[in-house]
Amino acid sequence: MNLFFLGIGGTLMGNLALLAAEQGHSVRGSDSGIYPPMSDVLEAAKIPLAEGFDSAFMRPRPDLVIMGNANLPRGHPAVEWVLDEGIPFMSGAEWLGSQLMRDRWVLAVAGTHGKTTTTAMLAWILDQAGLEPGYLVGGVPIDFPHSARLGGGRFFVVEADEYDCSYFDRRSKFVHYHPRTLVLNNLEYDHADIFPDLNAIQNQFHLLLRTVPNVGRIIMPRQDENLEEVLGRGCWTPIERFVPVRPGSRRKLRPHPRDTGTVWSVGSRRNQGRCFTVERNGDPMGEVDWSLIGDHNMGNALAALAAAQHAGVEPSVAVAALSSFRGVKRRMELIHDADGVRIYDDFGHHPTAIRTTLQGLRDQVGSDEIVAVIEPRSHTMSLGTMRNELTTCCAAADRSIWFRSPKLTWDLAEVVAASVVPAQMAEDIDRLTTTLVKQIGGRPRDAGGTPSACHIVIMSNGSFGGLHEKIKAALAKPATTE
Protein backbone atom coordinates (compact mmCIF):
# COMPACT_ATOMS: atom_id res chain seq x y z
CA MET A 1 0.00 0.00 0.00
CA ASN A 2 1.17 3.56 -0.75
CA LEU A 3 1.08 5.44 2.59
CA PHE A 4 1.71 9.13 3.23
CA PHE A 5 2.43 10.29 6.80
CA LEU A 6 1.31 13.88 7.29
CA GLY A 7 3.29 15.14 10.29
CA ILE A 8 5.95 12.44 10.06
CA GLY A 9 8.47 14.24 12.29
CA GLY A 10 6.66 13.45 15.56
CA THR A 11 7.76 10.59 17.78
CA LEU A 12 4.65 8.48 17.20
CA MET A 13 4.30 9.27 13.50
CA GLY A 14 7.98 8.76 12.69
CA ASN A 15 8.05 5.40 14.43
CA LEU A 16 4.84 4.35 12.70
CA ALA A 17 6.45 5.21 9.36
CA LEU A 18 9.38 2.94 10.26
CA LEU A 19 7.02 0.10 11.19
CA ALA A 20 5.01 0.59 8.00
CA ALA A 21 8.18 0.37 5.91
CA GLU A 22 9.23 -2.73 7.84
CA GLN A 23 5.81 -4.20 7.05
CA GLY A 24 6.47 -3.70 3.33
CA HIS A 25 4.41 -0.60 2.56
CA SER A 26 5.62 2.22 0.33
CA VAL A 27 6.10 5.10 2.75
CA ARG A 28 6.57 8.86 2.31
CA GLY A 29 5.91 11.82 4.56
CA SER A 30 6.22 15.51 5.26
CA ASP A 31 6.34 17.86 8.23
CA SER A 32 7.56 21.29 9.23
CA GLY A 33 10.87 21.33 11.08
CA ILE A 34 11.94 17.69 10.78
CA TYR A 35 15.00 17.45 13.01
CA PRO A 36 17.23 14.82 14.66
CA PRO A 37 17.00 12.23 15.96
CA MET A 38 13.83 11.37 14.01
CA SER A 39 15.05 12.92 10.75
CA ASP A 40 18.26 10.87 10.92
CA VAL A 41 16.37 7.65 11.68
CA LEU A 42 13.91 8.16 8.81
CA GLU A 43 16.65 9.04 6.35
CA ALA A 44 18.64 5.98 7.41
CA ALA A 45 15.53 3.91 6.63
CA LYS A 46 15.45 5.61 3.18
CA ILE A 47 11.98 7.03 3.73
CA PRO A 48 11.43 10.06 1.42
CA LEU A 49 10.83 13.23 3.47
CA ALA A 50 9.60 16.67 2.46
CA GLU A 51 9.82 19.90 4.46
CA GLY A 52 6.43 21.59 4.78
CA PHE A 53 2.91 20.61 3.78
CA ASP A 54 2.58 21.42 0.10
CA SER A 55 -0.06 19.14 -1.44
CA ALA A 56 2.38 18.49 -4.31
CA PHE A 57 4.31 16.28 -1.90
CA MET A 58 1.34 13.89 -1.83
CA ARG A 59 1.54 13.22 -5.55
CA PRO A 60 1.36 10.56 -6.81
CA ARG A 61 -1.87 10.14 -4.90
CA PRO A 62 -1.43 7.88 -1.84
CA ASP A 63 -3.78 5.02 -1.01
CA LEU A 64 -4.06 6.26 2.58
CA VAL A 65 -2.98 9.35 4.51
CA ILE A 66 -1.97 8.89 8.15
CA MET A 67 -2.51 12.19 9.98
CA GLY A 68 -0.69 13.40 13.05
CA ASN A 69 -2.31 15.60 15.67
CA ALA A 70 0.18 18.49 15.78
CA ASN A 71 -0.63 21.69 13.88
CA LEU A 72 -2.99 19.96 11.45
CA PRO A 73 -6.46 21.45 12.12
CA ARG A 74 -9.35 21.97 9.73
CA GLY A 75 -8.43 24.82 7.45
CA HIS A 76 -4.87 23.60 7.06
CA PRO A 77 -4.12 23.46 3.29
CA ALA A 78 -2.83 19.88 3.39
CA VAL A 79 -5.84 18.68 5.38
CA GLU A 80 -8.25 20.45 3.05
CA TRP A 81 -6.56 18.94 -0.02
CA VAL A 82 -6.90 15.42 1.38
CA LEU A 83 -10.58 16.00 2.11
CA ASP A 84 -11.31 17.60 -1.28
CA GLU A 85 -9.56 14.78 -3.13
CA GLY A 86 -11.49 12.15 -1.20
CA ILE A 87 -8.34 10.31 -0.11
CA PRO A 88 -8.91 7.82 2.73
CA PHE A 89 -7.32 8.96 6.00
CA MET A 90 -7.02 7.98 9.62
CA SER A 91 -5.06 9.02 12.71
CA GLY A 92 -1.73 7.45 13.56
CA ALA A 93 -3.16 5.89 16.72
CA GLU A 94 -6.06 4.31 14.84
CA TRP A 95 -3.75 2.90 12.18
CA LEU A 96 -1.43 1.49 14.84
CA GLY A 97 -4.31 -0.19 16.64
CA SER A 98 -6.16 -1.52 13.62
CA GLN A 99 -3.27 -2.47 11.34
CA LEU A 100 -0.14 -3.19 13.39
CA MET A 101 -1.48 -4.49 16.71
CA ARG A 102 -4.58 -6.33 15.51
CA ASP A 103 -4.37 -10.02 16.48
CA ARG A 104 -1.41 -9.31 18.84
CA TRP A 105 -1.33 -9.58 22.63
CA VAL A 106 -0.99 -5.87 23.41
CA LEU A 107 0.72 -4.77 26.62
CA ALA A 108 0.05 -1.05 27.06
CA VAL A 109 1.61 1.32 29.58
CA ALA A 110 -0.44 4.40 30.50
CA GLY A 111 -0.27 7.10 33.17
CA THR A 112 1.01 10.62 33.68
CA HIS A 113 4.57 9.66 34.62
CA GLY A 114 6.94 6.83 33.81
CA LYS A 115 5.28 5.59 30.61
CA THR A 116 8.37 5.71 28.41
CA THR A 117 10.72 4.07 30.90
CA THR A 118 8.24 1.37 31.93
CA THR A 119 7.43 0.58 28.28
CA ALA A 120 11.13 0.18 27.52
CA MET A 121 11.56 -2.02 30.63
CA LEU A 122 8.69 -4.27 29.64
CA ALA A 123 9.85 -4.62 26.04
CA TRP A 124 13.36 -5.46 27.28
CA ILE A 125 12.08 -8.13 29.67
CA LEU A 126 10.05 -9.84 26.94
CA ASP A 127 12.96 -9.54 24.52
CA GLN A 128 15.42 -11.12 26.97
CA ALA A 129 12.89 -13.87 27.66
CA GLY A 130 13.09 -14.80 23.96
CA LEU A 131 9.56 -13.70 23.09
CA GLU A 132 10.61 -11.38 20.21
CA PRO A 133 8.05 -8.68 21.05
CA GLY A 134 7.09 -5.84 18.81
CA TYR A 135 7.22 -2.50 20.57
CA LEU A 136 6.76 1.24 20.22
CA VAL A 137 8.43 3.46 22.83
CA GLY A 138 7.82 7.21 22.95
CA GLY A 139 11.51 7.88 23.52
CA VAL A 140 14.91 6.41 22.65
CA PRO A 141 15.60 3.19 24.61
CA ILE A 142 19.32 2.67 25.14
CA ASP A 143 19.08 -1.12 24.93
CA PHE A 144 17.43 -1.29 21.50
CA PRO A 145 18.73 0.04 18.17
CA HIS A 146 15.39 1.74 17.41
CA SER A 147 12.35 3.11 19.24
CA ALA A 148 9.99 0.73 17.43
CA ARG A 149 9.97 -2.65 15.73
CA LEU A 150 7.34 -5.09 14.47
CA GLY A 151 8.82 -8.11 16.24
CA GLY A 152 8.22 -11.69 15.34
CA GLY A 153 6.31 -12.89 18.37
CA ARG A 154 2.77 -12.76 19.69
CA PHE A 155 3.32 -9.73 21.91
CA PHE A 156 3.38 -6.00 21.22
CA VAL A 157 4.39 -3.48 23.90
CA VAL A 158 3.19 0.09 23.42
CA GLU A 159 3.43 3.39 25.26
CA ALA A 160 -0.21 4.39 25.65
CA ASP A 161 -0.46 8.17 25.49
CA GLU A 162 -3.55 10.04 26.70
CA TYR A 163 -3.05 12.93 24.27
CA ASP A 164 -5.75 13.23 21.59
CA CYS A 165 -5.50 11.54 18.18
CA SER A 166 -6.20 14.21 15.59
CA TYR A 167 -8.48 17.10 14.61
CA PHE A 168 -11.23 14.58 13.75
CA ASP A 169 -10.78 12.27 16.76
CA ARG A 170 -10.46 14.01 20.10
CA ARG A 171 -10.31 10.81 22.10
CA SER A 172 -7.03 9.75 23.70
CA LYS A 173 -4.74 7.70 21.50
CA PHE A 174 -4.89 4.70 23.81
CA VAL A 175 -8.58 3.98 23.13
CA HIS A 176 -7.46 2.44 19.81
CA TYR A 177 -4.95 0.01 21.34
CA HIS A 178 -7.26 -2.59 23.00
CA PRO A 179 -4.67 -3.97 25.44
CA ARG A 180 -4.87 -7.39 27.03
CA THR A 181 -2.39 -6.30 29.71
CA LEU A 182 -2.67 -2.70 30.91
CA VAL A 183 -0.29 -0.87 33.22
CA LEU A 184 -1.65 2.26 34.89
CA ASN A 185 1.35 3.86 36.56
CA ASN A 186 -0.35 6.91 38.10
CA LEU A 187 -2.70 9.74 37.19
CA GLU A 188 -2.41 13.50 37.61
CA TYR A 189 -3.67 16.55 35.79
CA ASP A 190 -1.60 17.21 32.66
CA HIS A 191 -1.94 18.39 29.03
CA ALA A 192 -3.60 21.65 29.98
CA ASP A 193 -3.85 22.57 26.30
CA ILE A 194 -6.51 19.92 25.61
CA PHE A 195 -7.95 18.84 28.98
CA PRO A 196 -9.86 21.44 31.03
CA ASP A 197 -9.52 19.49 34.28
CA LEU A 198 -8.60 16.15 35.82
CA ASN A 199 -12.12 14.80 35.33
CA ALA A 200 -11.75 15.10 31.56
CA ILE A 201 -8.62 12.93 31.69
CA GLN A 202 -10.33 10.42 33.97
CA ASN A 203 -13.13 10.11 31.41
CA GLN A 204 -10.58 9.00 28.81
CA PHE A 205 -9.01 6.49 31.20
CA HIS A 206 -12.49 5.11 31.85
CA LEU A 207 -12.90 4.56 28.11
CA LEU A 208 -9.56 2.74 28.14
CA LEU A 209 -10.70 0.39 30.92
CA ARG A 210 -13.77 -0.44 28.85
CA THR A 211 -11.51 -1.93 26.14
CA VAL A 212 -9.61 -4.39 28.37
CA PRO A 213 -11.10 -7.92 28.31
CA ASN A 214 -12.15 -9.94 31.33
CA VAL A 215 -9.32 -12.40 30.63
CA GLY A 216 -6.83 -9.53 30.65
CA ARG A 217 -5.05 -7.89 33.56
CA ILE A 218 -4.75 -4.37 34.93
CA ILE A 219 -1.55 -3.51 36.82
CA MET A 220 -1.81 -0.42 39.02
CA PRO A 221 -0.53 1.11 42.27
CA ARG A 222 -2.15 0.34 45.60
CA GLN A 223 -2.50 4.02 46.47
CA ASP A 224 -3.58 6.48 43.79
CA GLU A 225 -6.83 8.26 44.54
CA ASN A 226 -7.24 9.59 41.01
CA LEU A 227 -6.99 6.10 39.52
CA GLU A 228 -9.34 4.70 42.17
CA GLU A 229 -11.94 7.21 41.02
CA VAL A 230 -11.54 5.87 37.48
CA LEU A 231 -12.07 2.32 38.76
CA GLY A 232 -15.23 3.51 40.48
CA ARG A 233 -16.73 4.32 37.08
CA GLY A 234 -16.47 0.68 36.05
CA CYS A 235 -13.88 -2.08 35.79
CA TRP A 236 -14.38 -5.53 34.27
CA THR A 237 -10.83 -6.89 34.44
CA PRO A 238 -8.81 -8.53 37.26
CA ILE A 239 -6.41 -6.12 39.00
CA GLU A 240 -2.91 -6.69 40.37
CA ARG A 241 -1.29 -4.04 42.55
CA PHE A 242 2.20 -2.74 43.11
CA VAL A 243 3.26 -0.66 46.09
CA PRO A 244 4.89 2.66 45.17
CA VAL A 245 8.02 3.12 47.24
CA ARG A 246 6.89 6.66 48.05
CA PRO A 247 3.10 6.52 47.60
CA GLY A 248 1.39 9.77 46.67
CA SER A 249 -1.48 9.17 49.09
CA ARG A 250 -1.33 7.92 52.66
CA ARG A 251 -5.09 7.40 52.87
CA LYS A 252 -6.09 3.75 53.12
CA LEU A 253 -8.09 2.81 50.06
CA ARG A 254 -10.74 0.13 49.99
CA PRO A 255 -10.02 -3.01 47.94
CA HIS A 256 -11.81 -3.15 44.60
CA PRO A 257 -14.07 -6.13 43.82
CA ARG A 258 -11.81 -7.00 40.86
CA ASP A 259 -8.62 -7.10 42.98
CA THR A 260 -6.87 -10.47 42.72
CA GLY A 261 -5.00 -9.99 45.99
CA THR A 262 -1.63 -10.08 44.23
CA VAL A 263 0.69 -7.29 45.40
CA TRP A 264 4.22 -6.56 44.14
CA SER A 265 6.56 -4.63 46.41
CA VAL A 266 10.18 -3.75 47.15
CA GLY A 267 11.77 -5.63 50.02
CA SER A 268 15.29 -4.80 51.13
CA ARG A 269 17.54 -2.37 49.29
CA ARG A 270 21.21 -1.48 49.25
CA ASN A 271 23.74 0.68 47.36
CA GLN A 272 21.52 3.77 47.65
CA GLY A 273 18.62 1.86 46.13
CA ARG A 274 20.44 0.67 43.01
CA CYS A 275 20.01 -2.88 44.30
CA PHE A 276 16.63 -3.98 45.64
CA THR A 277 14.74 -7.21 46.18
CA VAL A 278 11.35 -7.76 44.57
CA GLU A 279 8.55 -9.46 46.47
CA ARG A 280 5.19 -10.80 45.34
CA ASN A 281 2.76 -11.24 48.21
CA GLY A 282 5.79 -11.13 50.52
CA ASP A 283 7.65 -13.92 48.73
CA PRO A 284 11.08 -13.00 47.28
CA MET A 285 11.29 -13.03 43.47
CA GLY A 286 14.93 -11.97 43.13
CA GLU A 287 17.13 -8.89 43.28
CA VAL A 288 17.42 -6.15 40.68
CA ASP A 289 20.92 -4.68 40.45
CA TRP A 290 20.99 -1.84 37.93
CA SER A 291 22.26 1.65 37.19
CA LEU A 292 18.96 3.53 37.45
CA ILE A 293 18.21 5.79 40.41
CA GLY A 294 15.10 6.88 42.25
CA ASP A 295 12.16 5.31 44.04
CA HIS A 296 9.98 6.10 41.04
CA ASN A 297 12.02 3.72 38.89
CA MET A 298 11.59 0.96 41.45
CA GLY A 299 7.84 1.45 41.09
CA ASN A 300 8.17 1.35 37.31
CA ALA A 301 10.10 -1.91 37.67
CA LEU A 302 7.38 -3.51 39.81
CA ALA A 303 4.75 -2.61 37.21
CA ALA A 304 6.86 -4.02 34.37
CA LEU A 305 7.54 -7.25 36.28
CA ALA A 306 3.84 -7.79 37.00
CA ALA A 307 2.89 -7.14 33.37
CA ALA A 308 5.62 -9.47 32.11
CA GLN A 309 4.43 -12.28 34.36
CA HIS A 310 0.91 -11.91 32.93
CA ALA A 311 2.50 -12.50 29.51
CA GLY A 312 4.09 -15.70 30.83
CA VAL A 313 7.59 -14.57 31.86
CA GLU A 314 8.87 -16.12 35.07
CA PRO A 315 9.73 -13.44 37.67
CA SER A 316 13.29 -14.75 38.06
CA VAL A 317 13.87 -14.29 34.32
CA ALA A 318 12.29 -10.83 34.38
CA VAL A 319 14.35 -9.69 37.38
CA ALA A 320 17.55 -10.82 35.67
CA ALA A 321 16.55 -8.91 32.53
CA LEU A 322 15.97 -5.70 34.50
CA SER A 323 19.44 -5.97 35.99
CA SER A 324 20.85 -5.38 32.51
CA PHE A 325 18.37 -2.63 31.60
CA ARG A 326 20.12 0.69 30.96
CA GLY A 327 17.20 3.08 30.61
CA VAL A 328 16.00 5.65 28.10
CA LYS A 329 17.76 8.66 26.67
CA ARG A 330 16.77 11.99 28.22
CA ARG A 331 15.63 10.33 31.44
CA MET A 332 18.46 11.37 33.77
CA GLU A 333 20.89 10.56 30.98
CA LEU A 334 24.46 11.32 32.07
CA ILE A 335 25.98 13.42 29.28
CA HIS A 336 29.10 14.81 31.01
CA ASP A 337 31.27 13.48 33.82
CA ALA A 338 34.61 15.17 34.46
CA ASP A 339 36.41 17.09 37.22
CA GLY A 340 33.68 16.43 39.75
CA VAL A 341 30.94 17.82 37.49
CA ARG A 342 28.15 15.56 36.31
CA ILE A 343 25.55 16.87 33.85
CA TYR A 344 22.28 15.07 33.20
CA ASP A 345 19.68 15.49 30.47
CA ASP A 346 16.14 14.92 31.72
CA PHE A 347 12.72 15.25 30.09
CA GLY A 348 11.22 17.22 33.01
CA HIS A 349 7.70 17.76 31.61
CA HIS A 350 5.68 18.15 34.84
CA PRO A 351 6.25 19.43 38.40
CA THR A 352 5.82 15.96 39.88
CA ALA A 353 8.34 14.50 37.42
CA ILE A 354 10.82 17.22 38.39
CA ARG A 355 10.28 16.60 42.08
CA THR A 356 10.67 12.80 41.98
CA THR A 357 13.69 12.94 39.68
CA LEU A 358 15.57 15.43 41.85
CA GLN A 359 14.68 13.49 45.01
CA GLY A 360 16.01 10.31 43.40
CA LEU A 361 19.28 12.06 42.65
CA ARG A 362 19.47 13.47 46.20
CA ASP A 363 19.02 9.99 47.65
CA GLN A 364 21.91 8.85 45.48
CA VAL A 365 24.46 11.65 45.94
CA GLY A 366 23.89 12.67 49.54
CA SER A 367 25.13 16.17 50.35
CA ASP A 368 26.69 16.90 46.92
CA GLU A 369 25.50 20.10 45.29
CA ILE A 370 22.54 19.74 42.91
CA VAL A 371 21.59 22.50 40.48
CA ALA A 372 18.31 22.19 38.59
CA VAL A 373 18.18 24.10 35.28
CA ILE A 374 14.62 24.09 33.99
CA GLU A 375 12.79 25.23 30.89
CA PRO A 376 9.03 25.10 31.61
CA ARG A 377 8.24 24.17 28.02
CA SER A 378 5.50 21.50 28.15
CA HIS A 379 1.97 22.76 27.55
CA THR A 380 1.02 22.19 31.18
CA MET A 381 3.93 24.26 32.51
CA SER A 382 4.15 26.86 29.73
CA LEU A 383 0.49 27.81 30.23
CA GLY A 384 1.16 28.43 33.93
CA THR A 385 -1.42 25.87 35.01
CA MET A 386 0.80 24.52 37.79
CA ARG A 387 2.90 27.53 38.67
CA ASN A 388 2.27 27.03 42.40
CA GLU A 389 3.68 23.49 42.25
CA LEU A 390 6.76 24.82 40.44
CA THR A 391 7.78 26.80 43.52
CA THR A 392 8.31 23.59 45.54
CA CYS A 393 9.26 20.95 42.94
CA CYS A 394 13.00 21.71 43.29
CA ALA A 395 13.08 21.18 47.04
CA ALA A 396 15.64 18.37 46.74
CA ALA A 397 18.08 20.61 44.84
CA ASP A 398 20.40 23.20 46.36
CA ARG A 399 19.32 25.84 43.87
CA SER A 400 17.47 26.25 40.62
CA ILE A 401 17.75 28.29 37.45
CA TRP A 402 14.61 28.87 35.40
CA PHE A 403 14.77 29.74 31.71
CA ARG A 404 12.13 32.12 30.43
CA SER A 405 11.59 31.55 26.70
CA PRO A 406 9.79 34.19 24.59
CA LYS A 407 6.85 31.77 24.22
CA LEU A 408 6.07 31.74 27.93
CA THR A 409 2.74 33.49 28.52
CA TRP A 410 3.05 34.22 32.26
CA ASP A 411 5.49 35.82 34.67
CA LEU A 412 8.13 33.25 35.61
CA ALA A 413 9.56 35.73 38.12
CA GLU A 414 6.71 34.74 40.45
CA VAL A 415 8.09 31.20 40.69
CA VAL A 416 11.65 32.45 41.22
CA ALA A 417 10.55 34.79 44.01
CA ALA A 418 8.49 32.14 45.81
CA SER A 419 10.88 29.20 45.32
CA VAL A 420 11.69 27.14 48.42
CA VAL A 421 15.35 26.96 47.31
CA PRO A 422 17.54 29.82 46.03
CA ALA A 423 16.45 30.49 42.45
CA GLN A 424 17.25 32.79 39.57
CA MET A 425 15.86 33.42 36.10
CA ALA A 426 17.64 33.45 32.73
CA GLU A 427 16.38 34.70 29.37
CA ASP A 428 19.36 34.10 27.09
CA ILE A 429 20.93 30.67 26.42
CA ASP A 430 24.46 31.97 25.89
CA ARG A 431 24.38 34.02 29.10
CA LEU A 432 22.92 31.06 30.94
CA THR A 433 25.81 28.91 29.68
CA THR A 434 28.35 31.49 30.83
CA THR A 435 26.67 31.74 34.26
CA LEU A 436 26.70 27.99 34.79
CA VAL A 437 30.31 27.56 33.70
CA LYS A 438 31.41 30.42 35.97
CA GLN A 439 29.55 28.93 38.94
CA ILE A 440 31.07 25.51 38.24
CA GLY A 441 34.55 27.01 38.17
CA GLY A 442 33.94 28.85 41.44
CA ARG A 443 33.11 25.76 43.50
CA PRO A 444 34.67 25.45 46.96
CA ARG A 445 37.84 23.33 47.16
CA ASP A 446 39.18 21.13 49.90
CA ALA A 447 42.66 21.39 51.45
CA GLY A 448 44.15 19.43 48.57
CA GLY A 449 42.61 21.76 45.98
CA THR A 450 39.92 19.32 44.82
CA PRO A 451 36.66 21.09 43.98
CA SER A 452 33.41 19.91 45.53
CA ALA A 453 31.13 17.61 43.52
CA CYS A 454 28.37 19.24 41.50
CA HIS A 455 25.39 17.69 39.70
CA ILE A 456 23.61 19.79 37.06
CA VAL A 457 20.22 18.50 35.90
CA ILE A 458 18.99 20.12 32.68
CA MET A 459 15.23 19.60 32.46
CA SER A 460 13.12 20.29 29.37
CA ASN A 461 10.90 18.34 26.98
CA GLY A 462 12.55 20.20 24.09
CA SER A 463 16.07 20.94 22.87
CA PHE A 464 16.53 23.83 25.36
CA GLY A 465 18.27 25.90 22.68
CA GLY A 466 21.22 23.50 22.58
CA LEU A 467 22.15 24.28 26.20
CA HIS A 468 23.48 20.76 26.82
CA GLU A 469 26.08 20.94 24.06
CA LYS A 470 26.99 24.55 24.82
CA ILE A 471 27.84 23.74 28.43
CA LYS A 472 29.81 20.62 27.49
CA ALA A 473 31.77 22.59 24.88
CA ALA A 474 32.49 25.43 27.31
CA LEU A 475 33.68 23.04 30.01
CA ALA A 476 35.94 21.28 27.51
CA LYS A 477 37.85 24.49 26.79
CA PRO A 478 41.10 24.88 28.74
CA ALA A 479 40.88 27.35 31.59
CA THR A 480 42.41 30.75 30.98
CA THR A 481 44.11 32.96 33.51
CA GLU A 482 43.63 36.68 33.59
C-alpha span between 129 and 3 (Å, rounded): 34
Q: What are the CA-CA distances from residue 208 to residues 45, 161, 174, 435 (Å)?
A: 33, 11, 7, 47
Specify if 350 maps to a domain: yes
CATH of the domain at 267: 3.40.1190.10
Question: Helices 115-128 and 315-322 meet at what angle, rounded to 10?
Answer: 120
Looking at the DSSP bridge assignments, the partners of residue 284 are 279
Please provide the average confidence, as pLDDT, over all residues in the chain: 91
The pLDDT score that the predictor gives to residue 294 is 85
CATH of the domain at 461: 3.90.190.20
The pLDDT score that the predictor gives to residue 481 is 43
pLDDT (average), residues 65-86? 93
pLDDT (average), residues 428-441? 87
pLDDT above 50 for 482: no
* 160 plus 286 within the same structural domain: yes
pLDDT (average), residues 323-332? 90
Specify if 281 maps to a domain: yes
The pLDDT score that the predictor gives to residue 250 is 55
The pLDDT score that the predictor gives to residue 247 is 54
* 199 plus 317 within the same structural domain: yes
pLDDT (average), residues 288-315? 95
Q: Using one digit for the tens of pLDDT, what is the confidence trace for 76-112? A: 999 999 999 999 999 999 999 999 999 999 999 999 9
HSE-CB of 3 using CA atoms within 13 angstroms: 26
C-alpha span between 481 and 349 (Å, rounded): 40
* 337 plus 314 within the same structural domain: no
Bridging pattern class, strands 105-110 and 454-459: unpaired
**Which residues neighbour 444 within 8 Å (Cβ) at sequence distance 6 or greater?**
451, 452
pLDDT above 60 for 353: yes
Choose the final residue of a domain: 93, 114, 134: 93
Choose the final residue of a domain: 298, 322, 346: 322
* 341 plus 447 within the same structural domain: yes
Residue 211 near residue 175 (C-beta atoms within 8 A): yes
* 29 plus 167 within the same structural domain: no
User: Max alpha carbon distance in the chain (Å)?
Assistant: 76
Specify if 221 maps to a domain: yes
The pLDDT score that the predictor gives to residue 38 is 79
Specify if 482 maps to a domain: no
* 160 plus 290 within the same structural domain: yes
Specify if 404 maps to a domain: yes
Domain residues for 154?
A: 101-322
Choose the final residue of a domain: 322, 345, 371: 322
Specify if 265 maps to a domain: yes
Helix (H) or strand (E) holding 381: helix 379-382
CATH of the domain at 26: 3.40.50.720
Q: Using one digit for the tens of pLDDT, what is the confidence trace for 112-163? A: 999 999 999 999 999 999 999 999 998 889 999 989 999 999 999 999 999 9
Sheet holding 148-149, edge to edge: 148-149, 134-136, 155-159, 105-110, 181-184, 217-221, 239-242, 259-270, 275-280, 283-289
* 240 plus 295 within the same structural domain: yes
* 38 plus 145 within the same structural domain: no
* 79 plus 130 within the same structural domain: no
* 83 plus 137 within the same structural domain: no
Specify if 328 maps to a domain: no
pLDDT band per the 50, 70, 90 thresholds, residue 446: confident
- The percentage of residues in the chain with a pLDDT greater than 70, rounded to a whole number, is 97
- Provide Rg for the chain, Cα atoms: 23
* 235 plus 253 within the same structural domain: yes
Predicted model pTM: 0.89
Q: Using one digit for the tens of pLDDT, what is the confidence trace for 234-262? A: 999 999 999 976 655 556 667 898 999 99
C-alpha span between 96 and 113 (Å, rounded): 22
Q: Is 463 or 164 the better-scoring residue by pLDDT?
A: 164
* 248 plus 173 within the same structural domain: yes
Specify if 481 maps to a domain: no
> How many distinct structural domains can be found in the chain?
3
